[in-house]
């Protein structure tokens, strides 16, 4: 996952990008169960910790500097909140393509992700720390609901989605290196695993532009855009949702 994330430190779609600090969030533990409820974006969010100008953003990074993943995550998140708290992303790799829309509210990030994995369409909706997944072909209803209290091996395989897009933060154990920084933007790199190299590019305001992950299995690219544009993320109706607990994988 990227320090950002699909995301993804928020990205959902992060499952394909493999270990960077993109934009992923994680945290709310409250279950959103009302059928058809939704959350819409507000473009008036601000953050005092976000850079106040392009110059301030670029000066916060110095070529050769080491920065912890958690610190980098917080800086990127602050820049997104200052820009309006919403953004979209696309992910492409040899096995997956996805588009997503995300909204940051306080410590939590809600998101809708549409993925095509090896030709199979999957939709993931995350609202207030609860994930709704369709396209698995499992369960008696179109969506499977995953919460932190869900049980079973299938539920455990999906719970990382809640960590990535629910409000959790990264530690500073993993260090990023500022490869270049100027008035026009910043490039940071990391190697979260042997044979894996990740490059994050930020613009002059500290907003994410892209995350590129190169590994032996191929290259994954996430692009971020439409910061501050209205986003509506809707919970599926209760009549279309089954709890993942007890559902057996095939």
What is the arithmetic mean of pLDDT over 12-19? 35
Nearest residue to 159 via CA among 168, 237, 112: 168
- What is the predicted pLDDT for the residue at 5? 43
Confidence of residue 250 (pLDDT cuts 50, 70, 90): low
- What is the predicted pLDDT for the residue at 168? 60
Which of residues 238 and 48 earns the better pLDDT score?
A: 238
Confidence of residue 67 (pLDDT cuts 50, 70, 90): very high
pTM to 2 decimals? 0.77
Q: How far apart are CA 23 and CA 46, in angstroms?
A: 17
- What is the predicted pLDDT for the residue at 161? 79
Mean pLDDT for the chain overall: 77
Q: Give pLDDT tens digits for 41-57.
A: 333 333 333 333 444 44
- What is the predicted pLDDT for the residue at 164? 59
């Amino acid at each position: 996952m990227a320090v950002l994330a699909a995301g993804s430190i928020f990205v959902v779609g992060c499952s394909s990008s493999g270990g960077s600090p993109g934009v992923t969030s994680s945290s709310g533990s409250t279950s959103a169960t009302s059928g058809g409820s939704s959350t819409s974006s507000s473009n008036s969010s601000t953050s005092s910790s976000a850079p106040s100008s392009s110059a301030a953003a670029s000066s916060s990074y110095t070529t050769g500097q080491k920065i912890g993943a958690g610190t980098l995550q917080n800086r990127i998140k602050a820049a997104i909140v200052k820009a309006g708290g919403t953004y979209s992303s696309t992910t492409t790799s040899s096995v997956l393509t996805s588009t997503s829309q995300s909204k940051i509210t306080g410590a939590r990030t809600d998101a809708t992700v549409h993925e095509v994995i090896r030709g199979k369409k999957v939709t993931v909706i995350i609202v207030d720390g609860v994930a709704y997944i369709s396209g698995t072909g499992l369960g008696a209803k179109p969506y499977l609901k995953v919460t932190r209290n869900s049980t079973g091996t299938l539920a455990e395989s999906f719970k990382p989605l809640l960590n990535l897009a629910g409000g959790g933060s990264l530690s500073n154990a993993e260090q990023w290196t500022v490869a270049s920084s100027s008035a026009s933007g910043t490039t940071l790199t990391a190697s979260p695993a042997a044979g894996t190299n990740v490059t994050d590019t930020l613009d002059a305001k500290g907003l994410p532009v892209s995350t590129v992950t190169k590994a032996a299995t191929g290259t994954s690219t996430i692009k971020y855009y439409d910061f501050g544009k209205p986003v509506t993320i809707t919970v599926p109706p209760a009549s279309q949702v089954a709890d993942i607990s007890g559902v057996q994988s095939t």
